Amino acid sequence: MAIKSGRDLLFKSIDEIGTLYRRKEVSPVEVTEATLGCLAELEPKLNAFITVMAEEALVKAKQVEAAFMKEEAVGKLFGIPVSIKDIFNTKGIRTTLGSRILQNHVPEKDSYLYTALQSSGAIIFGKNNMLEFAYGSVHPDYGQCNNPWDVNRTSGGSSTGSASSVAAGIGFASIGTDTGGSIRLPSSFCGIVGLKPTYDRVSRQGLFHLSHSLDHIGPLTRTVRDNAIVLESISSKPVNFDTTFTGSIKGMKIGVIRSLIDSAVIHPEVRELVNSAIKQLVELGAEVVDVEIPELETISEIAFPILMSEGSYHHKQWYPERAADYAEGTRVVLAEGFKVSAVSYVEALERKREFAEKVDRLFDRFDVLVCPTSPSPATERDPSFEDTTYDYLQRTIPFNVAGNPALTVSAGLTASQNLPAGLQFIGRHFDETAIYRAADAFQVSNGGYKRPLI
């Protein structure tokens, strides 16, 4: 097979790489070696990985290369280098969750997610850095993951290394988790596509939970179409998006959640980019109408009793005996979670159900909803529960509560700092097709993926 050198190869789409494989113009071994080389070069700047699985990846690459040489029929993700957040159990390979408590933890069984990726023929080459236990703090043992657009800024959390590595061209996709925005916020900060699918679209077997009522598993990629390919491979029930990308959204009904754009906390350049993106959707033929969602302003009253009590429940085996081993921010929220009463928890679950029904009714009138993903571009440090300057979950956690699929795509770059800002698309339950179609039309018309100059 002919060798294609240079970083450009690593920014091709999954379909393009698959075509090159089938034409025998490039091999999975070469692409995997290039991916590992890029990782070695950029990792000191990014700190995006906890475990690199170079040996396992090269063995798998040789196996899939043999299949391509024999011209065997293979799936879309076959031979594609992919990383995963270090929160999924991997038999025989340590799974740390970015924590001191599990720093030497080696699971005895694989997670559903890892098994699904292995079955797809993907080449899993590393486990990504993350905020400790997917909660709101980075553990000092691992350190902050940096943003390829500006390595003096965070890539966001908690799927921090997943977003940073994909944006930088280290792998064609990563799989993260999202409990309140942990796929979408880092994807927004890093200018990539991050999907929180419908609740239970992807099995959580073998995932260490933060909050089992709010946790979602989903893909981070550079393009919407790549995202759909990955979701096809990891969805617990068969799904196919081959006919999704028509290029047209003419007549699609889009509801704009205006209060989340006009909010006083929104960075002015983010507001400008999002409003410009909405005008672009109109130019593409969509019917756009402002809409309001009841209870958005008080969504924390529903989400946090659930998140914090379930979070503390999953740590009862270690807390308080090993309290000193947690990062300070994690320790604080775990302590607070144990204070949530059973009555408050059950009331929040009931309000969760009611809120989900209200959101569902909006899709009697709209195909998708849109709003900003984050109130600001990437910050210098990871936003924390103590940070009251911006409310980073106000635009994302409502759809963990409701369980709807929600995807972020870059709305463009700020003029002052050249940093990405995210535009979020929300769909009805199990209708990832509609948000894929709308987000893809926007991304293509907006010039496609823009790569950082790292």
Q: How far apart are CA 245 and CA 228, in angstroms?
A: 10
What sign does the CA torsion over 157, 110, 325, 53 have? negative
Per-residue pLDDT in tens (0 to 9) along the chain, 454 residues: 334 456 999 999 999 999 999 999 999 999 999 999 999 999 999 999 999 999 999 999 999 999 999 999 999 999 999 999 999 999 999 999 999 999 999 999 999 999 999 999 999 999 999 999 999 899 999 999 999 999 999 999 999 999 999 999 999 999 999 999 999 999 999 999 999 999 999 999 999 999 999 999 999 999 999 999 999 999 999 999 999 999 999 999 999 999 999 998 999 999 999 999 999 999 999 999 999 998 999 999 999 999 999 999 999 999 999 999 999 999 999 999 999 999 999 999 999 999 999 999 999 999 999 999 999 999 999 876 556 555 889 999 999 999 999 999 999 999 999 999 999 999 999 999 999 999 999 999 999 999 999 9
CATH class held by domain 9-299+343-445: alpha beta
Alpha-carbon torsion angle 318, 320, 324, 327, nearest 10: 70
Phi, psi values for residue 50, rounded to 5°: -100, -40
CB 147 within 8 A of CB 154: yes
Q: State CA 97 to chain mean position distance.
A: 16
327-354 b/e (C-beta count within 10 Å ≥ 16 → b): bebbbbbbeebeebeeebbeebeebbee
pLDDT of residue 383: 74
Separation of alpha carbons 191 and 383, rounded Å: 17
Q: What is the DSSP string of 314-372?
A: TTTTTTTTTGGGS-HHHHHHHHHHTT--HHHHHHHHHHHHHHHHHHHHHTTT-SEEEEE
The ranges assigned to domains in the chain are 9-299+343-445
Residue 392 CA to residue 386 CA, distance in Å, equals: 11
Distance between CA atoms of 380 and 188, rounded to whole angstroms? 15
Q: Which residues are catalytic?
A: 85, 158, 182
pTM for this predicted structure: 0.97
Enter the tokens of residue 378: 């990437």
Q: Which tokens hold the place of 345?
A: 């928890």
